[in-house]
Chains A and B, each alone.
Chain A
């Protein structure tokens, strides 16, 4: 099946710094990728929809200046958490939509962010 890869799997950063998470579709082109946040024992919370070559569409309540999304190519989207604070610590997951297989969505493995 299609593979979506996230990097890094784990990251620890200091408060006030920025951290970038990458999401790659390895064997298909993804004009649309999605970014989610997941708190322990809860479901996925959609943060934004990332469109290749255009601005991301953010969900209500998600700060676009805090969570910068770039989708510069058909296989790569990045999420940058700027000026990170401990409350930004979470499990971040991306997914990519494969138009060639009926718009099937495949998820990445997730990235654990800990802000200290």
Chain B
């Protein structure tokens, strides 16, 4: 059962464009994490959000945790080819209770 809906699943954009990836759930999470995975490698942790309404920035990436801690978004400004990869969100509802989104495969075309 997919408890954490991630969208879109596929995204192909031109370099310089902006994009937003969403993770939505009906469950409340104690924290949520975003990862990026490049082909042939393991996912790398980008950020952890904990507080409802929290906004974190990582260079051109902006992460937001919903006020009710049920959803999160990742916004990329002026996408670069180096942003290409699979983006995953993971929601925690306590120890061992972690749910992953299905992933968003992003391709940034030069």
Selected from B33, B43, B102, B105, the residue in CB contact (under 8 A) with A104 is: B33
Q: Is A43 in contact with B88, judged by CB distance below 8 angstroms?
A: yes
> Which range holds the interface residue count of chain B?
20 to 34
Q: Is A97 in contact with B35, judged by CB distance below 8 angstroms?
A: no
* Nearest CB in chain B to that of A43: its residue: B103
- Cα–Cα, bound, A51→B95 (Å): 12
- Cα–Cα, bound, A99→B95 (Å): 8
Instruction: Determine the chain A residues whose CB is within 8 A of the CB of B75 once the complex forms.
Output: none
Question: With A43-B102, A104-B48, A105-B90 given, is the CB distance from A112 to B96 under 8 Å?
Answer: no
- For chain A, what secondary structure do more than half of its interface residues adopt (helix, strand, loop), or is it mixed? strand
* Nearest CB in chain B to that of A44: its residue: B100
Selected from A1, A46, A109, the residue in CB contact (under 8 A) with B41 is: A109
Binary A-proximity of B75-109 (CB < 8 A = 1, otherwise 0): 00000000000101010101110101111010000
Within the complex, the shortest CB–CB distance from A3 to chain B, in Å, comes to: 11
- Cα–Cα, bound, A49→B99 (Å): 12
Q: Is A102 in contact with B48, judged by CB distance below 8 angstroms?
A: yes
Q: Which residues of A contact B (CB under 8 A)?
A: 1, 4, 6, 32, 34, 41-44, 46, 49, 51, 91, 93, 95, 97, 99, 102-110, 112
Q: Which residues of B contact A (CB under 8 A)?
A: 30-31, 33, 35, 40-45, 48, 50, 86, 88, 90, 92, 94-96, 98, 100-103, 105
Instruction: Give 22 A-B contacts (CB < 8 Å), ordered by A residue.
Output: A6-B42, A34-B98, A43-B100, A44-B43, A44-B88, A44-B103, A93-B43, A102-B92, A103-B30, A103-B31, A103-B92, A103-B95, A103-B98, A104-B33, A104-B45, A104-B48, A106-B45, A107-B35, A107-B44, A109-B41, A109-B42, A110-B41
